[in-house]
Structure 1
Amino acid sequence: MVNRAAGTAVGPMVIAAVEQHRPPGQRLLDDPLAAAVLPATSRWVAELSRGPRVRDWLFRASERAAPGIWGGIACRKRYIDDRFASALEDGVDRVVVLGAGLDTRARRLTTPNGVRVFEVDLPVNVERQRARLGVPGHITPVPIDFEREDLSAVLASHGYRHDRRCLFVWEGVTQYLTEDGVRRTLDFLAGAAAGSRLVFTHVLRDFLDGTDLHGAQALHRRFATGRPLWRFGLHPHRVGDFLDAYGWREVEQVGADELEARYVRATGRAVPISPLERTVLADKP
């Protein structure tokens, strides 16, 4: 299960890399480092997408396989970029990225002096990041198996302290964990300092349990049946209560409609966004 989950880190970065070949006003996000973290074959595909025909073919192929996933991943990254920048502008000087994957956020967005970023992930992904992008001085790589190791102890061993306001980024991770794994992480987050912030994504519970497939039958067969890769989901209207039990307050929850209005409409492109995933911003009173 761990290796299957680790392998999913590449796809979102292919989307980010291909988006960079569109004119600035038509991009869903800016990530000039995305191609650099990709393995050789994926990097070659992303480079071919400089040509509009290849780029459009890749987008159409994505839509056939998983309708709305391209736009959903690109826009959730843009939304989290905005929350990252806002937190640092407001004086938060610690960031913990839970399940960093191959994301480049801490390297490409402005980080003021004194900001420290802990990138927590499976060892294989931590090593990929180190090999392809190096480790700037403000970033601390933290290898961990989320299901088997104690997050608090591992972070503490790398210099993390609970007494500083912190932004926690938990992007594209919760669905790969068991509910026990999610709750163990929230047990850790319950000890965060007042004024801390959390931004995370979740898959819809009704999709995982088959109540409503939202037109994504093929995706359900791939991720939620047999030996499922996606194992945890939430009902959007229950997120607030779920977080409240751990001392967090839901500030905002965005899905397809909100992301389309904020990020897609201005590009003039027709980019569907999947309803299967939502992104939540919360704070610690």
Structure 2
Amino acid sequence: MTSRDAAAETAFGPMVLAAIEHNEPPDRRLVDDDLAESFLPNRFRLLVRCTRVAAVRRAVIAAADRSGPGLWASIACRKRYIDERLSDPLNDTDAVVVLGAGLDTRSCRIARHSTMPVFEVDQQINVDRKQAVLRRTLGEVPSSVRLVGVDLERGQVMPALRAQGYDTRARTFFSRAPLTPFPDAVRATLTQLDGAAEGSKLIFSYIRQDFIDGTDLYGARSVYRRFRQRRAVWKSGLVPEHVGELLADHGWRLVEQAGPSYYRDTYIRPTGRPLAASPLEWTVFAER
């Protein structure tokens, strides 16, 4: 399996998590996504249905947390963080671009109440999969959703978007899946977005560089073995203190970074669940 194929396979994990979270009572959910289960292949939908039983659900979440301490909460909270920033009433947005969309449901949830164009950019293998999923679950691809097949490692994002009707003058909300699959993925993505209009927003997540380097494993040795040593799916990271400078070099201003303490205080504590967020992953919110 190539690194790009391995990265494509990671499309399933966050959606399984979101679907299982939806089986929690509303006041205990870390993220609310009622489409997640229906977007999954049969084998994963069966697992999700089993977790409608509270004891099974607790066991699955506990097993996941033992395998990757804190990653369950971090992934769920990151999805919720993006949803909240995108739905902020003060957020003036003309278009949404989801880079590395995978099976994410956000575009379809937006299409329920808005005709705002949403462009999903991903490897062609994931675009083909997504088209099949949307036809199976919704009957068709929503008219406001455009699926754009681009190799995010080597392709040119802006020309591909323009070919699908994207207006480069649009104030755009850009969202990028965790920027780890390719070397220098953050810098490459920022370079791709150099033509973004003033007033645009950008959210992306990254893994800490000291974890990528192996100098601090943050108690997640099994995660390091899985994603750095066995398949090396995670290839790049950032130092939190240097993020603002990197963004400024590409014309973006850092608004905030959300990490484990933010997720704990904002999302986890109100649920009363005994979960902790991982220190490995951080989420950046920036504006043009």
Report the TM-score when normalising by structure 2: 0.94
Which of 261, 266, 273 in structure 2 is aligned with 1:257?
Answer: 261
Q: Which amino acid aligns with 1:178?
A: P
Q: Once the 2 structures are TM-superposed, how far is the Cα of residue 228 of structure 1 from its aligned partner?
A: 1.3
Shift of 1:47: 0.5
Aligned mates of 1:46, 1:17 — CA distance in 2: 7
User: 2:199 & 2:112 partners in 1: Cα distance?
Assistant: 19
CA contact (8 A) 1:85 1:110 kept: no
Gaps (5+ residues) in structure 2? 136-140
Aligned-CA RMSD value: 1.4
Q: Which residue pairs with 2:13 in the alignment?
A: 11
Alignment partners' CA distance in 2, 1:111 and 1:279: 26
- Which residue, 182, 185, 188 being the options, matches 2:186? 182
Q: In the TM superposition, what are the counterparts of 1:1-285 in structure 2 within 5 Å?
A: 1-86=3-88, 90-109=91-110, 113-134=114-135, 135-172=141-178, 174-179=179-184, 181-225=185-229, 227-284=231-288
- For normalisation by structure 1, the TM-score amounts to 0.95
Query: Identity of counterpart residues, as a percentage?
Result: 44
SS across alignment from 2:286: strand
4+ residue segments displaced more than 6 Å: none
Name the SS of the counterpart of 2:175 in structure 1. strand
Aligned partner letter, 2:47: V
Asked if the contact 1:118/1:142 (under 8 Å) is kept, the reply is yes
Whether contact under 8 Å (1:36, 1:133) holds in the other structure is no
Q: What is the rounded CA distance, in whole Å, between the counterparts of 1:90 and 1:169 in structure 2?
A: 14
The 3-state SS of whatever aligns with 2:153 is coil
Gaps of 5+ in 1: none
CA distance in 1, matches of 2:266, 2:115: 31
Distance (Å, rounded) in 1 between the aligned partners of 2:152 and 2:45: 28
Q: Residues 96 and 168 of structure 1 are in contact (CA less than 8 Å); yes or no, is this contact kept in structure 2?
A: yes
Q: Amino acid of the residue matched to residue 168 of structure 1? A: F
**Which amino acid counterpart does residue 141 of structure 1 have in structure 2?**
L
The amino acid of 2:97's aligned partner reads V
